[in-house]
Amino acid sequence: MSLPEEYRKYLFPKFKDNNVRKSLGGKRYMHTVCEEAKCPNRGLCFSKGTATFLIMGDICTRNCSFCAIKKGFPLPLDEREIFEIEDTIRELSLSYVVITSVTRDDLEDGGAAYFDRIIKELKKSFGDLKIEILVPDFKKDLKNLNNLDFSYIDVFNHNLETVKELYPVVRKGASYDFSLKMLSFVKGKKIKTKSGIMVGLGETYQQISELFYDLNSVGIDILTIGQYISPSINHHKVMKYYSEEEFKELKGMAMKAGIKHVVSGIFVRSSFEAFETFKRAI
């Protein structure tokens, strides 16, 4: 299925992002999901002086059919990435950062304790810094969340990615029901929760509607909705390209389901304009 013209006019626009690219390019141990996942918004975000940090390396232990991040056997954790993240925050004078990671099923707690360490290091170094974490499911074990000190977290983000019916194809190894359970658990900690989905993977409007009501039932504060764009011919095929009007319709459906803060659009991703969305939600 070819890319519609209304998509082409937005794809990879040219922005003045030299300062950010220069800062990121000088790092050996730090990664960003912007580059590793080939995000279509990276030019725009870089031009605004923002980036989403990818921790625990750049190799994922799972093989989701939609994702461009490398799969295989990860290297041992390298704490030098922490210092490079701090340097980047300092160089770019960032006030809001998103910390995400590859899935690390090889680690005892899926990396929860490592997330906690990085968050605390950053809060110690930058007292006013707002931190959003975009996490994997930590081996589908709620006990692993006990390794996170939620008092240091401003937004807890965990993406459902797609409707329940497509999980066996799109998110092998993940569990729709567990992800909802985890979001519900974290909402009990009285912090902002967030999730994101892609459309165009083969879902129906009825399935999307049910997902919205499921997210509202666990108290989600913020939802992002964006178009799936296949990274290569070897990834999951795009089954439908949604129009701008259809994204407006999806936003209305989500708000009707009870979700108060919804960002919906062709190139919306879970960390797209995260600070702006956070400020509207507080």
Full residue range of the structural domain in which residue 24 is found:
5-281
Does the pLDDT value for residue 50 go beyond 80?
A: no
- Do residues 209 and 253 touch, judged by C-beta distance below 8 A? yes
**What CATH number does residue 271 fall under?**
3.20.20.70
Question: Can you say whether the dihedral through the CA atoms of 78, 82, 180, 67 is positive or negative?
Answer: negative
| Better-scored residue on pLDDT, 138 or 266 | 138
Average pLDDT over residues 43-59: 74
Q: What is the pLDDT of residue 28?
A: 63
Tokens standing for residue 165 = 């019916």
Q: How far apart are CA 17 and CA 152, in angstroms?
A: 30
Q: How confident is the model at residue 132 (pLDDT cuts 50, 70, 90)?
A: very high
Q: What is the pLDDT of residue 138?
A: 98
Does the pLDDT value for residue 49 go beyond 60?
A: no
Average pLDDT over residues 45-72: 78
Average pLDDT over residues 48-53: 69
Tokens standing for residue 273 = 């304009």
Phi–psi pair at 185, nearest 5 degrees: -60, -45
Q: How far apart are CA 175 and CA 61, in angstroms?
A: 15
Does the pLDDT value for residue 263 go beyond 90?
A: yes
Q: 98 forms bridges with which residues in the sheet?
A: 52, 132
Q: Please write the tens of the pLDDT for every residue from 137-153.
A: 999 999 999 999 999 99
How many structural domains does the chain have?
A: 1
Q: What is the pLDDT of residue 6?
A: 66
Does the pLDDT value for residue 16 go beyond 70?
A: no
Q: What is the pLDDT of residue 68?
A: 72
Q: How far apart are CA 141 and CA 250, in angstroms?
A: 31
Q: Please write the tens of the pLDDT for every residue from 154-202.
A: 999 999 999 999 999 999 889 999 999 999 999 999 999 999 999 999 9
Q: Tell me which of 39-48, 92-101, 205-214 is least confident.
A: 39-48
Q: How far apart are CA 3 and CA 61, in angstroms?
A: 30
Mean pLDDT of the chain: 87
Residue 144 identity (one-letter amino acid): N
Phi-psi category of 200—alpha, beta or left, where left has phi over 0 and alpha has psi -120 to 50?
left
